[in-house]
Structure 1
Amino acid sequence: MNWLIVKNDFIKNKMINLALFLFMMFSASLAVLSVLMGVQTFTSISKLYKTAEPPHFVQMHKGEINEEKINKFMSENELVIYNQTLTMIDVYGENLTIVGKDNTYDLSDCRLDIGLVKQNELKDLLLNSQHEKVTIYEGEIGIPVLLKEMYDMKIGDHVILTSNNVKKEFVIKEFILDSMMNSPMVSSTRLLLSHKDFNNLQGKVGEKEYLIEAYFANTKEASNFKTVYENAGLPQSGQAVTYSIIFLLSALTDITTVFVLLLVSLLLIIVSFICVRFTIMAALEEEIQEIGTMKAIGLPFRDIRDIYIYKYRALAFIGIITGYILALLLSSVVTKHITSTFGDIGMSTLAVVLSLVAGYLIFLLINYYCKRILKKIKKVTVVDALVRGKGFGKNKGGIKDGLYKSNRLPVNLLLGIREVFYKFKNWVIVFAVVLITVMMIMVPVNLLNTFEAPEFITYMGSSLEDILIEVENGENLETRYANVKQLLQKDNTIENYYEYRSVRVQTIDAENKLMNLNIDCGSSAGNELQYLSGKAPEGEDALALSYLYANEKGKESGDKIEILINDKKKEFVISGIYQDVTSGGYTAKSKYNFSEVDAEKYSFSVNLKDNVEVGKKADEWSKSFGAGVTVDPMEEFINQTLGGVSKQLATIVFAIVIIGIALTMLIAILFLKLRLVKDLSEIAVLKAIGFSEQDINKQYMIKMGCVSILGVLVGIILTDLLGEKIVNAALGVAGIGIKKVNLITNPIMEYIICPLLLIMLILVVTWIIMRTIKKYNIISIIKE
């Protein structure tokens, strides 16, 4: 009998049930997709790392090394279970020309440091998409997937290396997975050569760079080892990176996408609950007399409830199963970046199991929510249902018509506004859905705007200028620094520039424990950064600390910190805590020059005059400075660093906008269909007293328009109030050195395009649905 009732209801209310089904399906699908993607991200990285075995600690170094001294230090350190020192030949993008079937280009616009390497024997292996160790023969080359995605290279393309009067041509044999350098945020990438080609080129082209790698029984020992290594006086003229940072930077793009998908799926689940409540209450009110009859003949509450709940269980079950299947079909699209970056490992068992659990939890939530709503049947008495015909809402009396004010307002406008004002509860579903849709669209859009904005560089420990120049550590550091400064002082195209000197010192805590700290010092150090508390340092006894370092040391703004400079202690006051993702997130800024300490590197932030083209000037300086100095237009630097995140996020955001708009229109159709059924008698009375169909259409357009405008306004306010808090909560969990982001909004998108588009579509839907009242027969409706 229950199945027969459900079947008849599906046939009778096709549109309503279809809308409910779609909401349940999409909310389940997005929830399952976010789980699938999250699990696949960590599973894929873990499987890649298991085979490739990236280092737990790596120190990059340019210049000569004493490998015996390094090996002796490693063997004597009880934390180290394995170590190796690898050689890399650094070349520039302009040294590499790619010849494809359709075009020829060089990599001069690539801001990544490019290194030529040969395959390792046991650890830090370069793999193919099936996680197999890649073997490259003479004349062949393996290109990292990172470069393939940036330049759309293909197997069989030719790579021509031209440097120091040496010209060598290679054929792309394989696209390789580099477990350590697979993110543009790492700032380096490796090209794989055969042993013979590598040995032939070594010393003839480029510049040598060493990768000093160490492995531990527990990867958490990496940060402790880093301090011990740096204090041992071993080679360190380059970036030092730990396992946790390698893992986090690898997963950042996909973690961001998972967060957005999860957020949208949660909002859609809320919308589904609103729709379920609305349709259940509409069905109960419409069938109040049938409910009264069932109570009168002695049917218990559970039996009456089950008649209704079977339908929603069936809808939820079918919707979630369909959503799960849809998620599996779409999984290859959303996990494309994971597959290309970490290898094709297929769908893991854990991902399937956890996604099934996610779908089942949504089913349980919907089932529980339906039971809560249907408890209202308990409160209905036989007298209320059969005699009064009411039982689910208190009769608060009629609305004052206010027609006496119609000499100041048009009658249709007055009736429409007053009904929304006095009976807002009847229209709350449209209000809630529009509100949630605005948030569902605008939070991801604002997040995308933030990643793409030049201002995001202030979250990466740098101020926002036109060009960033870095003088890398090495034997000729001071000479290169002097050359750069001399050129900048003479160039009349420069508006202004800021100079920074980077040093490494040690801090002393209450237990006299030493910990290394990288400090950027200069007259403008710390200015224009994003501070969680406090401000930039103003005097030479002030110091601004990065969030991760302050958090580890338990320091806050106003606290004091002792720094060891050539065996002498100097006390600084912490002026502020800022956000940074460079140097592992452990940095500081100070106006004090630290002249007693040798510089690790120098950097310059340059602003050009308005009529100077940034790209051309950066290329000109890069050629003039030569090796050991990197020159990056800030906008291009950000684009290449965060381009992968932005590109994937843009695809997801576009899909979310389409889904949000489509579901809003579906809700509008569902609501109006049910509203018109409930308002039949009122419409008939309005027609009988002389209101035309056009008047009634206007009234409903005004009602829907007013509610939509309210929903949009509240949605914008909540997006501005809660959007940043939601994003910052996720960033706090990630622990990447950024705890708080001020979302950068696009005012035209947030305040004009999105609101007008939603309101216009709702009004169009309303106009189309209202045309059906032409079919209403006034006499038959009044007789009923």
Structure 2
Amino acid sequence: MNWLIAKNDFIRNKVINLSLLLFMMFSAGLAVLSVIMAVQTFTSISELYKMAQPPHFMQMHKGKINQDKIDEFMLDYEGITCWQTVTMIDVYGESLTVVGKEDTYNLSDCRLDIGLVKQNETKDLLLNSKHEKVTLHKGEMGIPVLLSERYGMEIGDRVMLTSHDVTKEFVIKEFILDSMMNSTMVSSTRILLSDEDFDELSDQVGENEYLIEAYFTHSKEASNFQTAYENAGLPQNGQAVTYTIIFMLSALTDISTVFVLLLVSILLIFVSFICVKFTIMAALEEEISEIGTMKAIGLTFADIRDLYLNKYRALAMAGVIGGYILALLISGVFTKHISATFGNMRISALALILSLVAGCLVFLLISYYCKKILKKIKKVTVVDALVRGKGFDKDSGGIKDGLYKSKKISVNWLMGIREVFYKFKSWIIVFAVVSIAVLMILVPLNLLNTFEAPEFITYMGSSLENILIEVDNGEKLENSYGNVKQVLENDDAIENYYEYRRVRVQTFDAENKLMNLNIDCGINAGNELQYLSGKTPKDGNEIAISYLNANETGKEAGDTIVLYFNDKKQEFVISGIYQDVTSGGYTAKSKYNFSGLNAEKYTFSVNLKDRAEVEKKATEWSKILGAGVTVDPMEDFINQTLGGVVKQLRTMVFAIVIIGACLAMLITVLFLKLRLAKDLSEIAVLKAVGFSEHDIKQQYTIKIGCVSIAGILAGIILTDVLGERIVNVALSIAGLGIKKVELITNPVIEYVMCPLLLLGLILLITRIVVRTIKKYNIISIH
């Protein structure tokens, strides 16, 4: 009997039940998909790292090295298990020309430092997509996935290397996975050559750079090792990174996608409860007399409840199974970046199990909620159901007609607005769902807009200027610095520029262990950055430190910190704590000049008189300054650094906008079905007293429109109030050096396009649904 009743209901209410099934399927599917992505991200990276074995600590160095001194230090350091020094030949993008099937181009616009390497023996291996060690023959080349994705390279394309009067041709044989340099935020990438080609080119092209790599019993020992290494005076003309930073930068793009998916799935699950409530209440309202009859003939509450509960359990089960299958089918689209970056892995058993648990959890939550709603049947009496016909809505409070005001406002507008005003509780579901849909769309949209905005550079340890110039450390550091100064001083197109010199000093961390502190000093140092507390350092003994350094030292704004340099110690006041994602997030800023200390790096930020000349000037200066100096328009610098994250987010935002719009329309359909079922007698009476079908349709359109506008406004306010908090919680957990982001909004999209799109779709679907009132008349009440 249960099956027959459920089957007949499915046939009778196809639209409502199909809508509910689809909604359950999407909410469960997104929950499953977010779990699959999260697990796949971390298991894929772990599997890649297991085979590739990236170092726990890596120091890049340009210039000569004393390998015996390095070996001696490594031997004496307790806890170290293995070390190696990898030679890399640095070449510049303009030296590499790719000859493809349809196009020929060079890599001059690539801001990543490109290094040619040969395969290592056992550690820090470069792998193929199957996690196999890549072995090349003479004339073959392995291109990192990072470059192949950006330029659209294909296997078989030819690469011409031209440098120092040497020209050599290679064929792309393999796209390689680099466990260390697989993110645009790392700033370097490696191209693999055969041992024979590498030895032939060594000392003939480019400039040698060394990767000094160390391994420990536990990767956590890398931080203490870094301080000891730097204090030992060993080679350090370059970036130093630890295992934790490597892992986080590798996972950043996919973590951001997981965060957005998880946020949307939680909101959808919440809305699915509302959707279930609509459907159940619509069914109960339509069948109130049948419920009264079943009670009258002696059926218990549990029997009646189970007739409905079994149907919704079956729907929930079908929805979750469908969502699980759908998530598995489309997971390849969402995990494409993971597969490309970390290797073609099948979905792991752990991902399947945990995603199944997530699906079961969604089913149990929906079942529990259905059971809770159906308790309303218990309160319905036979008299309420069969005589009054109002078993669930016993609100007898009327609405003041206010028709005397109809001289100023039309009757339809007056009736519509006053019902929403006086009985807003009856319409609060649409209000809540529209608000959630707006929140669901705008938070990811604002996050994307923030990553794309030029102002995001202030979260990357730099002020917002037109052009960024970086002088690479190495033996020619000071010469290159002088060349940059000369070019900037003699160019009339420049409005102003600021220079920064990076120096290294020492201090003590929160556990009273000696640590190194990298400080960018200059007259503009610390200006325009995003401060969590305090302010920009002024002249004198003031310093601003990054958020991660504040955690490391246990210091706050206003505290004093003792710095050791030039064989002396000096006390500084911490003026503020700022946010930075560069250099692993461990930086500091000061206007104090630290005279006598050697520079680790020089950076210039330049403003032009004519901003339209930015691209042209950057290209011109790049050619003049040559190798060892990177010149980027600030927007290009941000786009290349965050390119992977932005591309993934843009795809997600597009999908979320569609989901949010469909969500708002679906809830409108379900709600109106419920509302029209409840208002059957009222509509029939209105028709009987002379209101036309057009009048009644207009009234419902006005009611839905007013509630939707209120919901959209509430959603925008929620986005402005909660959006940043949601994003900031995720950033704090990630530990990337950013704790608090001020989301940058696009007013046209947030306040005009998004509201108009949602409102237009909701009103369109409302006009379609209210057509059913033509069937309602005074006779149909009986």
TM category, shorter: over 0.9
Alpha-carbon distance between aligned partners in 2 of 1:235 and 1:109, rounded to the nearest angstrom: 30
Give 1:509 shift. Answer: 4.8
- Alpha carbons of 1:769 and 1:293: their partners in 2 closer, same or farther (altered >3 Å)? closer
Q: Which moved more, 1:463-472 or 1:229-238?
A: 463-472
Q: Which moved more, 1:328-337 or 1:294-303?
A: 294-303
Q: Please tell me whether the aligned partners of residues 435 and 714 of structure 1 are also in contact (alpha carbons under 8 angstroms).
A: yes
Letter in 1 for 2:757: L
Q: Please tell me whether the aligned partners of residues 504 and 600 of structure 1 are also in contact (alpha carbons under 8 angstroms).
A: yes
Letter in 2 for 1:754: C
Give 1:757 shift. Answer: 0.8
Give 1:280 shift. Answer: 1.7
Which residue is 2:405 aligned to? 405
Q: Which moved more, 1:653-662 or 1:704-713?
A: 653-662
Letter in 2 for 1:355: S
Q: Which moved more, 1:556-565 or 1:318-327?
A: 556-565
- Alpha carbons of 1:297 and 1:415: their partners in 2 closer, same or farther (altered >3 Å)? same
Alpha-carbon distance between aligned partners in 2 of 1:642 and 1:4, rounded to the nearest angstrom: 57
Q: Please tell me whether the aligned partners of residues 15 and 670 of structure 1 are also in contact (alpha carbons under 8 angstroms).
A: no
Q: Please tell me whether the aligned partners of residues 510 and 554 of structure 2 are also in contact (alpha carbons under 8 angstroms).
A: no
Letter in 1 for 2:183: S
Q: Deviations over 1:546-581 (max 9, x none)?
A: 001101222111111111122322111111110111
- Alpha carbons of 1:611 and 1:147: their partners in 2 closer, same or farther (altered >3 Å)? closer
Which residue is 2:737 aligned to? 737
Q: Deviations over 1:318-360 (max 9, x none)?
A: 0010000000000111000000100011111001000000000
Q: Which moved more, 1:698-707 or 1:670-679?
A: 670-679
Give 1:173 shift. Answer: 0.4
Alpha-carbon distance between aligned partners in 2 of 1:611 and 1:27, rounded to the nearest angstrom: 47
SS of the residue 2:347 aligns to: coil
Which residue is 1:692 aligned to? 692
Give 1:260 shift. Answer: 0.5
Give 1:291 shift. Answer: 2.9
TM-score between the two structures when normalised by the length of structure 2: 0.98
Letter in 2 for 1:286: E
Q: Please tell me whether the aligned partners of residues 285 and 678 of structure 2 are also in contact (alpha carbons under 8 angstroms).
A: no
Give 1:415 shift. Answer: 0.5
Deviating above 6 A after TM superposition, structure 1's stretches of 4 or more consecutive aligned residues are none
Give 1:489 shift. Answer: 1.2
SS of the residue 1:268 aligns to: helix
Give 1:678 shift. Answer: 2.0
Give 1:516 shift. Answer: 0.6
SS of the residue 1:175 aligns to: strand
Counting aligned pairs with the same residue, the percent is: 75
Letter in 1 for 2:143: I
Which residue is 1:225 aligned to? 225
Which residue is 1:780 aligned to? 779
Alpha-carbon distance between aligned partners in 2 of 1:397 and 1:637, rounded to the nearest angstrom: 63
Which residue is 2:202 aligned to? 202
- Alpha carbons of 1:527 and 1:509: their partners in 2 closer, same or farther (altered >3 Å)? same
SS of the residue 2:642 aligns to: helix
Alpha-carbon distance between aligned partners in 1 of 2:565 and 2:666, rounded to the nearest angstrom: 68
Letter in 2 for 1:651: T
Alpha-carbon distance between aligned partners in 1 of 2:565 and 2:293, rounded to the nearest angstrom: 89
Q: Please tell me whether the aligned partners of residues 669 and 766 of structure 2 are also in contact (alpha carbons under 8 angstroms).
A: yes
Alpha-carbon distance between aligned partners in 1 of 2:21 and 2:750, rounded to the nearest angstrom: 30
Give 1:510 shift. Answer: 7.0
SS of the residue 2:395 aligns to: coil
Q: Deviations over 1:251-276 (max 9, x none)?
A: 10000000001111111111110111
Alpha-carbon distance between aligned partners in 1 of 2:498 and 2:562, rounded to the nearest angstrom: 27
Q: Deviations over 1:128-174 (max 9, x none)?
A: 00000001110110000000000000000000000111000000000
Letter in 2 for 1:781: S
Alpha-carbon distance between aligned partners in 1 of 2:320 and 2:466, rounded to the nearest angstrom: 51
Give 1:779 shift. Answer: 4.3
Q: Deviations over 1:199-219 (max 9, x none)?
A: 111111000000000001101
Which residue is 1:311 aligned to? 311
Q: Deviations over 1:725-769 (max 9, x none)?
A: 001111111111111111111111111111001111111111222
Which residue is 1:506 aligned to? 506
TM-score between the two structures when normalised by the length of structure 1: 0.98
- Alpha carbons of 1:615 and 1:600: their partners in 2 closer, same or farther (altered >3 Å)? same
- Alpha carbons of 1:512 and 1:21: their partners in 2 closer, same or farther (altered >3 Å)? closer
Alpha-carbon distance between aligned partners in 2 of 1:302 and 1:503, rounded to the nearest angstrom: 76
Q: Which moved more, 1:389-398 or 1:438-447?
A: 389-398
Letter in 1 for 2:94: E
Structure 1: give runs of 5+ residues left out of the alignment. none
Q: Which moved more, 1:194-203 or 1:374-383?
A: 374-383
Which residue is 1:10 aligned to? 10
Alpha-carbon distance between aligned partners in 1 of 2:312 and 2:30, rounded to the nearest angstrom: 20
Question: Are 1:658 and 2:661 counterparts?
Answer: no
Q: Please tell me whether the aligned partners of residues 19 and 667 of structure 1 are also in contact (alpha carbons under 8 angstroms).
A: no
Q: Please tell me whether the aligned partners of residues 510 and 553 of structure 2 are also in contact (alpha carbons under 8 angstroms).
A: no
Question: Are 1:95 and 2:57 counterparts?
Answer: no
Give 1:279 shift. Answer: 1.9
RMSD: 1.4
Q: Which moved more, 1:186-195 or 1:614-623?
A: 614-623
SS of the residue 2:561 aligns to: strand
Give 1:511 shift. Answer: 6.1
Give 1:424 shift. Answer: 1.6
Letter in 1 for 2:157: D
Which residue is 1:522 aligned to? 522
Alpha-carbon distance between aligned partners in 2 of 1:768 and 1:289, rounded to the nearest angstrom: 28
Alpha-carbon distance between aligned partners in 2 of 1:585 and 1:418, rounded to the nearest angstrom: 56
Alpha-carbon distance between aligned partners in 2 of 1:703 and 1:247, rounded to the nearest angstrom: 52
Letter in 2 for 1:163: S
Q: How does 1:95-494 map to 2 (within 5 A)?
A: 95-494=95-494
Question: Are 1:768 and 2:768 counterparts?
Answer: yes
SS of the residue 1:123 aligns to: coil
Q: Please tell me whether the aligned partners of residues 282 and 677 of structure 2 are also in contact (alpha carbons under 8 angstroms).
A: no
Structure 2: give runs of 5+ residues left out of the alignment. none
Alpha-carbon distance between aligned partners in 2 of 1:258 and 1:748, rounded to the nearest angstrom: 27
Q: Deviations over 1:222-248 (max 9, x none)?
A: 111111100000000000000000010
Letter in 2 for 1:626: G
Which residue is 1:84 aligned to? 84
- Alpha carbons of 1:510 and 1:225: their partners in 2 closer, same or farther (altered >3 Å)? closer
Question: Are 1:701 and 2:701 counterparts?
Answer: yes
Q: Please tell me whether the aligned partners of residues 380 and 392 of structure 1 are also in contact (alpha carbons under 8 angstroms).
A: yes
Q: How many residues align?
A: 782
Letter in 2 for 1:459: Y
Give 1:380 shift. Answer: 3.0
Q: Which moved more, 1:459-468 or 1:509-518?
A: 509-518
Q: Which moved more, 1:397-406 or 1:98-107?
A: 397-406
Q: Please tell me whether the aligned partners of residues 138 and 197 of structure 2 are also in contact (alpha carbons under 8 angstroms).
A: yes
Alpha-carbon distance between aligned partners in 1 of 2:608 and 2:341, rounded to the nearest angstrom: 37
Alpha-carbon distance between aligned partners in 2 of 1:774 and 1:328, rounded to the nearest angstrom: 44
Q: Please tell me whether the aligned partners of residues 431 and 711 of structure 1 are also in contact (alpha carbons under 8 angstroms).
A: yes
Letter in 1 for 2:323: G
Letter in 1 for 2:751: Y
Alpha-carbon distance between aligned partners in 2 of 1:686 and 1:260, rounded to the nearest angstrom: 47
Q: Which moved more, 1:582-591 or 1:327-336?
A: 582-591
Alpha-carbon distance between aligned partners in 1 of 2:728 and 2:219, rounded to the nearest angstrom: 27
Letter in 1 for 2:266: L
Letter in 1 for 2:442: M
Alpha-carbon distance between aligned partners in 2 of 1:412 and 1:510, rounded to the nearest angstrom: 70
Alpha-carbon distance between aligned partners in 1 of 2:16 and 2:611, rounded to the nearest angstrom: 60
Give 1:681 shift. Answer: 1.6
Which residue is 1:586 aligned to? 586
Letter in 2 for 1:572: F
Q: How does 1:56-71 map to 2 (within 5 A)?
A: 56-71=56-71
- Alpha carbons of 1:611 and 1:336: their partners in 2 closer, same or farther (altered >3 Å)? closer
Which residue is 1:19 aligned to? 19
Q: Please tell me whether the aligned partners of residues 142 and 193 of structure 2 are also in contact (alpha carbons under 8 angstroms).
A: yes
Letter in 2 for 1:780: I
SS of the residue 1:533 aligns to: strand
Q: Deviations over 1:170-199 (max 9, x none)?
A: 000000000110101000000000111111
Letter in 1 for 2:35: V
- Alpha carbons of 1:543 and 1:366: their partners in 2 closer, same or farther (altered >3 Å)? same
Q: Please tell me whether the aligned partners of residues 531 and 576 of structure 1 are also in contact (alpha carbons under 8 angstroms).
A: yes
Q: Which moved more, 1:270-279 or 1:511-520?
A: 511-520
Give 1:668 shift. Answer: 1.7
